[in-house]
Amino acid sequence: MVWTIASAEWEFLLSRAGPSAVDELGFLPSIVVQGHSWSLVITTWNQAITTVLPSVEFGSTDSTVGVLQVIAGLWKLRAWSMDTLWSWYKRNLPKLRNSTADN
């Protein structure tokens, strides 16, 4: 299922921004939650092939330390999204930028 969603996301970005812009991204992160386990899944796109890399567990909600790890992981992903992904969107998808708040 992760591959299907990631593939659709890459195809959307390709159709709107083009291959050279998509190459700038390098990867897209996803979060998968199974039971108490929170994992980061990275997908890449290269010449029409979406690759899903092995997931990495970054926290679990079955302990206090695990919950703190989840929170730290989400903050790290938020920082990357704001610094890297959002600036990419603003540069390469101006119509999207104009239809959302410019934060």
Q: Which of 4-8, 9-13, 48-52, 97-101 has the lowest mean pLDDT?
A: 97-101
pLDDT for 12 equals: 94
| Residue owning tokens 């390098």 | 26
pLDDT for 21 equals: 94
Q: What are the tens digits of pLDDT across the range 33-56?
A: 999 999 999 999 998 889 999 999
DSSP state of 82: I
pLDDT for 101 equals: 55
Is the separation of the CB atoms in 45 and 10 below 8 Å? yes
Question: Strand locations in the chain, DSSP E?
Answer: 28-34, 37-46, 49-52, 56-60
Is the separation of the CB atoms in 77 and 31 below 8 Å? yes
Alpha helices in the chain, H assignment, sequence order: 2-17, 19-25, 64-80, 86-92, 94-98
pTM assigned to the model: 0.82
Percentage of the chain beyond pLDDT 90 is 80
pLDDT for 74 equals: 98
Distance of alpha carbon 32 from alpha carbon 55, whole angstroms: 8
